[in-house]
């Protein structure tokens, strides 16, 4: 089974962050921040983090240029200027990034994607990257301070959050499926959390 984790660095001190990685047997951190710096937690600036992880025997790889969430290309935006995750997933850079992750998993690396948001549900690592990984057969779990939550569990939360805006199977909608409802829920989450580009569609 192909597996991968995610974690948000929030403002944790660096020692706590590394302890969570070790608890989950992570040996490789893939930084998926479009801007790999933190205004409030300088220990997570790209250079400082890379050095600190290296001292702790953990590999750091930057892939925010391939798997980040900020885009200004009008072709990748909704009409309101927010980034359309589905369109991003279809781009070559994103696909290349996923291939690199897959190759790393196959080589035996224990990988965690890292972004800044503590809550995966509010981050593109859930709605953009993990959603796609699940579709191609990779099991994803999200590391929190007090435990681990599977992507499937967050999907249940997703369906619950948008339940009033999702079609139900009934006399007038007999062809509605779970996958259709989940796909729409992901799009609704996408619109709620996506980066709003300066270039409008």
Q: Buried b / exposed e across 126-156, counting CB within 10 Å, b at 16+?
A: bbbbbbbbbeeebebbbbeeeeebebeebbe
- What letter would DSSP give residue 149? E
**What pTM was computed for the model?**
0.94
pLDDT at 201: 42
Assess contact for 199 and 74: CB atoms under 8 A. Answer: yes
Q: Which residues pair with 158 in a beta bridge?
A: none
The values of phi and psi at residue 37, to 5°, are -145, 155
| Distance separating alpha carbons of residues 154 and 159, to the nearest angstrom | 9
pLDDT at 171: 67
pLDDT at 102: 97
- Per-10-residue mean pLDDT, the chain, length 201: 96 97 98 95 97 98 98 96 98 98 98 98 98 96 97 98 90 84 97 84 42
pLDDT at 29: 98
Domains present along the chain, CATH in parentheses: 3-193 (3.90.190)
């Amino acid at each position: 089974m192909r597996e991968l984790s995610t974690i948000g660095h929030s403002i944790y001190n660096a020692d706590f962050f590394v302890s969570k990685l070790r608890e989950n047997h992570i040996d490789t951190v893939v930084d998926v921040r479009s801007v790999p710096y933190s205004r409030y937690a300088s220990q997570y600036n790209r250079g400082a983090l890379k050095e600190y992880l290296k001292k702790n025997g953990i590999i750091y790889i930057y892939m925010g240029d391939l798997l980040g969430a900020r885009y200004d290309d009008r072709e990748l935006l909704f009409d309101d200027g927010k980034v359309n995750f589905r369109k991003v997933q279809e781009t070559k850079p994103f696909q290349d990034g996923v291939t690199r992750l897959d190759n790393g998993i196959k080589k035996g690396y224990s990988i965690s994607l890292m972004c800044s948001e503590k809550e995966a549900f509010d981050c593109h690592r859930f709605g953009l990257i993990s959603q796609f990984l699940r579709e191609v057969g990779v099991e994803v779990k999200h590391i929190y301070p007090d435990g681990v939550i599977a992507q499937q569990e967050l999907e249940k939360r997703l369906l619950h959050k948008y339940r009033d805006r999702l079609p139900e199977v009934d006399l007038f909608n007999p062809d509605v499926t779970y996958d259709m409802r989940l796909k729409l829920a992901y799009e609704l989450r996408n619109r709620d959390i996506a980066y709003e580009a300066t270039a409008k569609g």
